[in-house]
Amino acid sequence: MVDMDAAIGYVVAHGDPVERARLSWLRAGAHPPEAVLQRMESGQTEAGGWPAAGDGSVPSIDATCFRLAELDDLGGLQGPPVEKALAWLASVQREDGTWQEDESLADVAPVWAVPGDPEATFYQTAVAGFWLTVADVEEHPHHEAPPRYAKELGAAARFVVSQLRSDNTWPSFLAAGWHAAGLLHEQQFFYESARVQLVLGDRLGDMSPADLAGMAAALRRVNLGDDWLLRSARKRLAETQRTDGGWDSDEGPIFDVNTTLTAIRACR
């Protein structure tokens, strides 16, 4: 089993104020101080998204989805800044149901966000569709009302389905898989979502701790029914936890606290 006390202790010892506020919400549902929320929401562009860099002016799909994930750890996807960000995401979806970064970001975009690149397009579409999905689940957990962004989500899901290969894999990065699985399931593409989950299950042994945490946290956020994949991911997280309670990030030690918080979200 994951040593949750050790994981909590690691974040307390090494986290900054925002990360410790995220921990308080994950542990006890404690609302963050207003200063923390203001810090998280700062830099939001007038259009509604967040820029890739602190001094940027062009909103980024990748940066906006990352910020939504952080805000989700601080009390859910609610409030004017979140609504503005979700509306912006919906507004920049392309006619074919996909999302791509603005062309002006091409020189600074990471490989998973390069505008015009097919792998990046699939990834961006899966992730943007996933966070619009999570926002709907947050507002209507029992599907008591149609999704606010039903048109956008339907188009995104149909694009993802059209890209799945005969062996159930997808033409993009590993992380696109679990975001796509959540999007497809909530759009009632149950068979296609299950196909993606089978591939993810086969890849568990090769996943890094950061990927395990990211996948398990995403699977928890939407109800996929049978949680065999979530249980398996949690078991692997227990096996990869360090003796100091943390987990390794794929981006270096400076992001280990974030990975540990994601693991806590996955296992709490």
pLDDT at 171: 96
| pLDDT per residue as tens digits for the range 81-115 | 999 999 999 999 999 999 999 999 999 899 999 99
Q: pLDDT digit string (tens) for 233-245?
A: 999 999 999 999 9
Distance CA(203)–CA(66), nearest Å, equals 24
Q: What is the pLDDT of residues 22-49, one digit of tens each?
A: 999 999 999 888 888 888 788 899 999 9
| Per-residue pLDDT at 199 exceeds 80 | yes
Question: What interhelical angle do 150-163 and 174-186 show, nearest 10?
Answer: 130
| pLDDT-derived band at 252, boundaries 50, 70, 90 | very high
Residue located via tokens 């999905």: 133
Model confidence pLDDT, tens digit, residues 145-197: 777 899 999 999 999 999 999 999 999 999 999 999 999 999 999 999 999 99
Q: How far apart are CA 49 and CA 191, in angstroms?
A: 33
CA–CA separation, 191 vs 195, rounded Å? Answer: 6
Tokens found for residue 127: 């992730």
pLDDT (0 to 100) of residue 54? 72
- Which residues face 214 on adjacent strands? none
71 pLDDT above the threshold of 80: yes
The H or E element that residue 69 is part of is helix 61-72
What average pLDDT is seen over the chain?
A: 93
CA distances to 79, 163, 227 from 86, rounded to whole Å, are 11, 25, 28
Q: Distance (Å, rounded) from C-alpha 166 to C-alpha 164?
A: 7
Instruction: Give the model's pLDDT for residue 227.
Output: 87
What pLDDT does 63 receive?
A: 95
Q: Which residue has the tokens 């994601």?
A: 262
C-alpha to C-alpha distance for 124 and 65, rounded to whole angstroms: 9
Backbone angles phi, psi at 164, to 5 degrees: -65, 135
Mark residue 203 as left, alpha or beta (left: phi above 0; alpha: psi -120 to 50; beta: remaining). alpha
Give the per-residue pLDDT at 157: 98
For position 148, what pLDDT does the model report?
A: 86
Are the beta carbons of 133 and 153 closer than 8 angstroms? yes
- Of 41-45, 131-135, 244-248, the range with the lowest mean pLDDT is 41-45
